[in-house]
Amino acid sequence: MWLLLLTLSFISQGLVGALSPIHLTCQLRKPAGHSPLDGCTRGTIYVSQHDSQAHFKSVQQAVLSLPKKGAATILVGAGEYHETVNITRKDPVTLLGQLDPHTAFDPAGNASTRNLVHIWDNKFVQTGMDDAQSAVLLVAPSFNASLIGAGPTGAPLQPLFGNVDFKAYNIDFENRAANFSISQALVTDISYANASFYGCAFASYQDTWYTGRNASTYVVDSIIYGQTDYLFGFGTAWFEKVTLANRACGGGIAAWKGTNLTGAPGNRYGAYISNSKIIRSPDANATTVTEGQCFLGRPWNDLATTVYLNTFMDGSINPAGWKPFDSARPVIMNTTFYAEYHSHGPGGNTSARIPLEHILTSKEAKHFALDQVFLERPTWIDYDYR
**Minimal CA–CA distance to 77: which of 124, 41, 45?**
45
pLDDT tens profile 74-104: 999 999 999 999 999 999 999 999 999 999 9
What is the value of pTM for the model shown?
Answer: 0.94
Q: Average of pLDDT values for 301-315?
A: 95
The C-alpha atoms of residue 299 and residue 31 are separated, in whole angstroms, by 51
Q: Is 227:187 a contact under the CB 8 Å cutoff?
A: no
Task: Give yes or no for a contact between 232 and 210, defined as CB atoms under 8 angstroms apart.
Answer: yes
98-125 burial, b for 16+ CB within 10 Å, e for fewer? Answer: bbebeebbeeebbbeebbbbbbbbebbb
Per-residue pLDDT tens digits for 58-76: 999 999 999 999 999 999 9
pLDDT score, position 291: 86
Q: Mean pLDDT over residues 45-49, rounded? A: 97
Q: How far is 332 from 348, CA to CA, in rounded Å?
A: 21
* 114-118, 176-180, 228-232, 375-379: segment of lowest average pLDDT: 176-180
- Distance set, CA 339 to CA 269, 309, 310, 342, 353 (Å): 14, 8, 11, 10, 10
Q: Where are the domains of the chain?
A: 110-374
17 falls in which pLDDT band (50, 70, 90)? Answer: low
Task: Of 179-188, 199-208, 270-279, give the lowest mean pLDDT range.
Answer: 179-188
C-alpha distance from residue 211 to each of 115, 188, 254 (Å): 23, 8, 11
Q: What b/e sequence results for 238-268 when a residue is b if at least 16 CB atoms lie within 10 Å of its CB, and e otherwise?
A: bbbebbbbbbbbbbbbbbbbbbeeeebeebb
How far is 249 from 253, CA to CA, in rounded Å? 8
Query: Domain 110-374 belongs to what topology?
Result: Pectate Lyase C-like (2.160.20)
Residues in contact with 264: Cβ distance below 8 Å, sequence separation at least 6, in sequence order: 213, 214
Q: Determine the average pLDDT of the residues in 239-250.
A: 96
As a whole number of angstroms, the distance between CA 156 and CA 158 comes to 6
Query: What's the mean per-residue pLDDT of the chain?
Result: 91
Q: Which of 373, 318, 324, 364 is nearest to 341 (CA)?
A: 364
* Mean pLDDT confidence for 161-167: 98
